[in-house]
Chain A
Amino acid sequence: EAQVTQNPRYLITVTGKKLTVTCSQNMNHEYMSWYRQDPGLGLRQIYYSMNVEVTDKGDVPEGYKVSRKEKRNFPLILESPSPNQTSLYFCASSLGGFQPQHFGDGTRLSIL
């Protein structure tokens, strides 16, 4: 089954404790992206990757890092999480171009 898998689905943690949210896709997609969803703001892009070892900033990259060492994986790293990063996070992938993006089920992060 074609899917984008995120882990964990839920996480409550404390300020400053490094965390990683994993994202993996099994569709051999070139393009991957991270979004955060906040009430009243819709979804905003954090980082994206056009291919292995190629990543770049989206609209709200501050406080986040990413890596793309393999085509299927695109982890999101919060080196020193802060409460304003409490949000619902989605990973997405696509073939690239103007093709539709496929989304994971989301990761709800709470930073205390």
Chain B
Amino acid sequence: AQKITQTQPGMFVQEKEAVTLDCTYDTSDQSYGLFWYKQPSSGEMIFLIYQGSYDEQNATEGRYSLNFQKARKSANLVISASQLGDSAMYFCAMRSGTGGTSYGKLTFGQGTILTVHP
């Protein structure tokens, strides 16, 4: 079974500072994918960044980067130069890389509420 753990229920950061949101995972699959999503108060799930288990480079997308440490089974999200609009719930998720009907479904962590202060 797969499991995602986000140990920070809430995080606070000053505007323009960087912040790291923690995510650890557990899986017996050799191939898997890791995702980060942002969920503002409107409820929509906004896809931020993806890291494949075989990717050697850490993924980056604009101000978002994923600090992937495979041996530690961690996939922390780093947001640089925080903005007020970054305040939201953030979810880490994992997708099994195996085929079959289970492929594609995501297992989510508990989420971290990020608050950016001016």
A and B bind: no
